Amino acid sequence: MKIEVTHVIKADPQVISLFSAFLGAIGAPSQDIKTADAVELSKTTTPAAETKKETSTKATKRTYLFHEESGTVLEVNKGEELAKHLEQGLVEISKAEFDRIQAEKQARIDKAKEQAENKANNETPEQTSETEDHGITIEMVRAEAKKLASSGRQADLKAILTSFDAPKLTAVPEDKFPELLAAIKEAVGEE
């Protein structure tokens, strides 16, 4: 809303200067006053609410924001900076929408974890089936290695492990157990 005020003043210079000061005090620019006889002052004013630009950058309540391109959601508490987020393309959403997006995000994270666990679990049965194929367990290998070590031939056991690039029995891959067991049995003297 604009208000235009036009005044024609016929008064002495003191009254005119007082009126100019009054217009200046209310924030209205005044025209140059040239004579004291008849001066027309024209002023266009707007209410303070209209001239005041929205400069509030703080959230007045808990606000939920969403960035459509990235799918990011953000919670801004009352009194926290808000304008910078809006400038970055975030839009305000409802609490229910915020909760729904957060729940979907958590579900995706849980699903990814579950898939990773399933993948890890699926690798274990494959290794077990290899063990079942040759039927040799680490316990069987340990028993033969113990026989070799107890007969005072630790150096031979160490040499066998070195040939498998392993510092200890458990470092030998399960698919190599048949070869390892055969080498240990040969060193013990069993065939």
Higher pLDDT, 31 or 157: 157
The CA distances from residue 107 to 71, 103, 113, in Å, are: 14, 6, 10
d(CA 108, CA 103): 9
Q: Is 135 left (phi over 0), alpha (psi -120 to 50) or beta?
A: left
Tokens of 189: 């003297």
The half-sphere exposure of 61 on its side-chain side, counting CA atoms within 13 A, is 5
Q: Percent of the chain beyond pLDDT 90?
A: 5
Question: What's the predicted TM-score (pTM) here?
Answer: 0.35
Model confidence pLDDT, tens digit, residues 11-55: 567 766 776 777 677 766 555 544 444 444 444 555 554 444 445
Q: Which residues of 115-150 are buried (b: 16+ CB within 10 A; e: fewer)?
A: eeeeeeeeeeeeeeeeeeeeebeeeebeebbebbbe
pLDDT at site 4: 63
pLDDT at site 122: 73
Q: What is the mean pLDDT of residues 73-94?
A: 88
Mean of all residue pLDDT scores within the chain: 76
Tokens of 129: 């089936």
Query: Residues in the chain, how many?
Result: 191
When mean pLDDT is compared across 13-22, 32-41, 107-116, 160-169, the lowest value belongs to: 32-41
Question: Residue 157: pLDDT above 50?
Answer: yes
Tokens of 32: 């140059």
Report the candidate in 76, 78, 85 with the shortest Cα–Cα distance to residue 61: 78
Instruction: Place 94 in a pLDDT band, splitting at 50, 70 and 90.
Output: very high
| Dihedral angle over CA of 100, 102, 104, 107, nearest 10 | -140
pLDDT at site 96: 92
Question: Residue 68: pLDDT above 80?
Answer: yes
Question: Residue 64: pLDDT above 80?
Answer: yes
